[in-house]
Amino acid sequence: MTSSMTHGSALQEAPLLDIDPLLDDPGIRIIVCCGAGGVGKTTTAAALGVRAAERGRRAVVLTIDPARRLAQSMGIDLLDNTPRRVDGIDGDGELHAMMLDMKRTFDEIVEAHADPSRARAILENPFYQSLSAGFAGTQEYMAMEKLGQLRARDEWDLIVVDTPPSRSALDFLDAPKRLGSFLDGKFIRLLMAPAKMGGRAGMKFLNVGMSMMTGTLGKLLGGQLLRDVQTFVAAMDTMFGGFRTRADATYRLLQAPGTAFLVVAAPERDALREAAYFVERLAAEEMPLAGLVLNRVHGSGAARLSAERALAAAENLDEGRIVDQEAGKAAGRGSTGSSPTPSAVEPDSESESHQPSAPPTSQLTAGLLRLHAERMQVLSREQRTRDRFTALHPEVAVAEVAALPGDVHDLAGLRAIGDKLASGGLPAGAE
């Protein structure tokens, strides 16, 4: 691999992330792309899906990104909770894509694990409707539920997951535990206690102990909301254990050797700080990390010319031009010859009189040198940031993806990203 001098030292310190062997390995059934928001997780996941399919895998990309750029890039008018076939894939593989519908996934769980009458009671319950649409952690939990569903179908030999745009790193790992704890927690059990005890004992418990609690909660939450919660709890009683069981099963699936995590970041301080936390958290949770994808890395074909030298050259050109201009003005003031005839100074035509004069070559060159200096300063800042990450985690393999001039909006763009991922680094001259 070749690289510019600006990135050479950093690249030599970290192993190279080789994407194609990862995609080609039939033992790898799940690739999870995680990282901070706005670093290109969705584009990376889509590019991996396209490349895997065109190398012969039956792949599906599960995205939780609300921006819906994935659908546009893959030529699908609308992504929903059902995997849809992507047309235009070259090779023997297949690619499907879908966007998580959080509420619909929750509804599917209820419909699959409750009899029709109980399912209808749950789906129509106001508290359930609020919980399934926006309860904290529900999106992340449902992403893991959908991953478990896709893996259980065994229809695809590779699932690429674009994790939710969570504010906190790896919320999608914590959410199943949080939601499971909520559904199995003391508050829920307390609400269920009267119904479970039944008869006079239950009524006595309710009258003595629950009356105070329900009265207090009724004031805080409102009586109707409390009744909705209790009705929801009673209807969901037989399903609570299933939530925890499936959450635990999906968690073990993420720890299995057939799963590979890719941390996605940009060469910026906050993004790489978050990436370092992801790496450490994955290690603590015994999740298999494949490496780091560093997106939007800048390069230069003239890296030997430093920012300092470029700025000095630009200043020299500017000073020389000013000296020449002052000398020309002095020569004009000192001229004692006869004035030129009008025909000697007037333009030959009206068009020539309005033609703007081109800026001096030295002025253009100085401007280009300053632009180059700005680019080299960006490269230097990115290198320092990258070096800090590598110093903390020298064992993490890295693939760099050069910054593109525009957004990716079609399969050709995703293929280009895949090519850059597979090359593993920034080629010399990349911009």
* Residue 277 resides in a domain: no
Runs of H (alpha helix) within 256-393: 269-284, 307-334, 342-345, 350-354, 361-392
* Residue 201 resides in a domain: yes
* Residue 209 resides in a domain: yes
Nearest to 288 by CA among 16, 21, 22, 50: 22
Which string of DSSP letters, residue by residue, matches 84-129?
A: EEPS---SS-EEEEEE--HHHHHHHHHHHHS-HHHHHHHHT-HHHH
Predicted pLDDT at 213: 44
Give the Cβ contact number of residue 405 at 10 Å.
5
The CATH number for 244's domain is 3.40.50
Q: How many domains does the chain have?
A: 1
Give CA angle at 104 (101, 108), nearest 5°.
Answer: 135
| Per-position pLDDT tens, the chain of length 431 | 333 334 444 445 678 999 999 999 999 999 999 988 888 888 999 999 999 999 999 999 998 765 666 777 888 877 888 999 999 999 899 999 998 888 888 899 889 888 898 889 889 988 888 877 766 667 777 888 889 889 998 899 999 999 876 655 567 777 666 665 665 555 565 655 554 544 444 444 444 444 444 444 444 445 566 677 777 777 776 676 677 788 788 888 999 999 999 999 999 888 899 899 899 999 998 999 999 999 988 776 676 777 677 677 767 776 766 655 665 666 665 555 555 544 444 545 444 445 454 456 777 887 777 777 777 777 778 888 888 999 999 999 999 998 877 778 889 999 999 999 987 654 433 43
Instruction: Please give the Cα distance from 294 to 264 (Å, whole number).
Output: 6
* Residue 176 resides in a domain: yes
What sign for the dihedral angle of Cα 231, 234, 236, 242? positive
* Residue 146 resides in a domain: yes
HSE-CB at 342 with a 13 A cutoff on CA atoms is: 0
Give CA angle at 36 (30, 39), nearest 5°.
Answer: 90
**Contact (Cβ atoms closer than 8 angstroms) between residue 313 and residue 429:** no
Predicted pLDDT at 368: 79
Instruction: Please give the Cα distance from 395 to 219 (Å, whole number).
Output: 55
Summary count for the chain: helices (H), strands (E): 20, 8
Which residues, including other chains, have CB under 8 Å from residue 50's CB and lie 6 or more apart? Answer: 74, 86, 89, 95, 411, 414, 415, 418
Predicted pLDDT at 207: 44
- Structure tokens belonging to residue 58: 């039956």
Q: Please tell me the pTM assigned to this model.
A: 0.75
Residue 143 structural domain: 29-257
Predicted pLDDT at 193: 56
Predicted pLDDT at 375: 73
* Residue 84 resides in a domain: yes
- Structure tokens belonging to residue 151: 């893996």
Kindly list the distances between the CA atom of residue 232 and the CA atoms of 131, 140, 389, in Å, as whole numbers in the listed order: 10, 21, 47
* Residue 167 resides in a domain: yes
Instruction: Please give the Cα distance from 352 to 216 (Å, whole number).
Output: 89
* Residue 90 resides in a domain: yes
